[in-house]
Structure 1
Amino acid sequence: MVRVVILFFVVCMCFFSCQRKGVVNEQVLYWQDREILFPQKNVFTLFGKDTVDMLFDSPYKILSYLDSMGCVSCKAQFPAWKEFLVYLEQKKVPVLFFMGTRRLKEMQFILRRETFGYPVCIDEKDSLNKLNHFSSDLMFQTFLLDKDNKVLAIGNPIHNPKVKELYLKIIQGEKIGSINESNVLNTMVDIDKTAASLGDFAWQEERKATFTLKNMGNKPLFISDVTSSCGCTSVDYSKEPVNPSESLRLHVTYKADHPGHFSKTITVYCNADASPIRLKISGNAK
């Protein structure tokens, strides 16, 4: 298999904002061509109960580690993974989900609630992390590995569509050099606001907010993807290009899982100079 590591890391630097490039560079240098070490015994289950076998000796595999800090379901983005898994299964690329948590019952509940019927290793001793010392940054806890468990690419394909594109290019054997952002015709956008307060409300109720993006440049505005930091947040918007001087509305819906204060992030990936654009909603679900 042709190694693409060096070229990958050059391209990878284009996928993050300037303030993140120092962190990206540090992580990239650390993980470059490094072998991921797995515990001798790995138990994968469906919904935390029924044991299943996982394929480790495939040409490519994706490892996604998740720690127990914060909102697990928010970080995991199980609905988005389910869509991606349909394609990966066609390519016979397994995803090894490791959840480093002692909260077994909570994880079982989350997996059932999200109807995530894919094998997951609930690593109660956090053995995988102890062997590899992963970053605490969610963006650097997912890896594309080769048949020898060496790192080909790093980044979360669910939270960043450009990383997803890169993973797919490597899996499909395409030239990484074909990812060239300089060929994209960028435009400029104006946003009516970057944060919205949803106030106080009963946690069983839905709350909505609208953000308006206006194309201030002279090229059409294309939205490539919109992601949220939580499965409890959904975004509706027109998929049509936005012509110069025209506007696009992002309709954000929040449905709380439980009472409490919240602050969620919506990330908009587009061909604007300011991309990715990060929007926030907050409130108090009583």
Structure 2
Amino acid sequence: MCIDEKDSFNLLNKFPKDNRFQTFLLDKNKKVVAIGNPINNPQIKELYQKIIQGETTNQKDESKLVQTEVSIDKTSVEMGSFDWHKEQKATFTLKNTGGSPLVIQDVTTSYGCTTVSYSKEPAHPGKEITLEAVYKAEHPEHFSKTVTVYCNTASSPIRLSLSGDAK
């Protein structure tokens, strides 16, 4: 791990702003062997682990992966102003509009004050999965949080957002 306090490595390499592509794995010769953030993507984490453990890695044939399609009722929720001592809840509904079961593989949040609950059961075609996001402020603040949903769709990961003013 390297912490570049002066951002000189980034200035030299001109990394993209998207933090998914600002993490990479180097070999013993300092050559980049994998790019992606293993904290935000369980598939990248699995890839990193295989490389570190010396296992062979093969590119998956994307055509063999069972995918479906999804529609989302909303991608962002503005919670407005509220007493920071009170939890705020928002729901997002993912509807399976494809022909195969919709499976949520993982859900991550951008900060610990946001939690998400949902059914771990697959949603069959035409059925829905509801995600309930709960925001609990640690102190008064304006916030903008991200919920990232990893599922078996071409649009995965799906980014949902919560914002508001905890006063």
Give the TM interval when normalised to the shorter protein.
0.7 to 0.9
TM-score, normalised via structure 2 length = 0.85
Match of 1:229 in 2: 110
**1:149 aligned residue:** 30
Aligned counterparts of 2:49 and 2:38: Cα–Cα separation in 1:
9
How many Å separate the matches in 2 of 1:281 and 1:97?
A: 31
Which among 130, 151, 176 is matched to residue 8 of structure 2? 130
**Any residues of structure 2 matched to 1:1-286 within 5 Å, and which?**
96=1, 98=3, 100=4, 126=5, 129-130=7-8, 133=11, 135=15, 137=17, 138-286=19-167
Distance in 1 (alpha carbons) for counterparts of 2:135 and 2:118: 15
Flag the 1:196–1:131 CA change in 2: closer, same or farther, 3 A. closer
Write the deviation string for residues 252-283 of structure 1: whole angstroms up to 9, x where unpaired.
01122332222212111111232221111111
Q: Aligned equivalents of 1:136 and 1:244: distance in 2?
A: 36
Amino acid at match of 1:160: N
Structure 1: distance between partners of 2:106 and 2:62: 16
RMSD of the alignment, in Å?
Answer: 2.1
1:198/1:154 CA distance change after superposition, 3 Å: same
| CA distance 1:165–1:179, shift in 2 (3 Å) | farther
Q: Output the CA distance in 1 between the equivalents of 2:150 and 2:157.
A: 5
Letter in 1 for 2:54: G
Residues 269, 131 of structure 1: alpha-carbon distance in 2 compared, 3 angstrom cutoff:
closer
Distance 1:215 1:141 in 2: 32
CA distance in 2, matches of 1:131, 1:251: 39
SS in 1 for 2:58: helix
Gaps of 5+ in 1: 1-95, 101-125
Which residue matches 1:58?
A: none
SS of corresponding position for 1:186:
coil
TM-score under structure 1 normalisation? 0.52
Determine what percentage of the aligned residue pairs are the same residue: 56
More helix as a share of residues: 1
User: Which structure dedicates a bigger proportion of its chain to strand?
Assistant: 2
State the AA in 2 paired with 1:282.
Answer: S
Gaps of 5+ in 2: none
More relative contact order, 1 or 2 (CA 8 Å, 6+ apart): 2
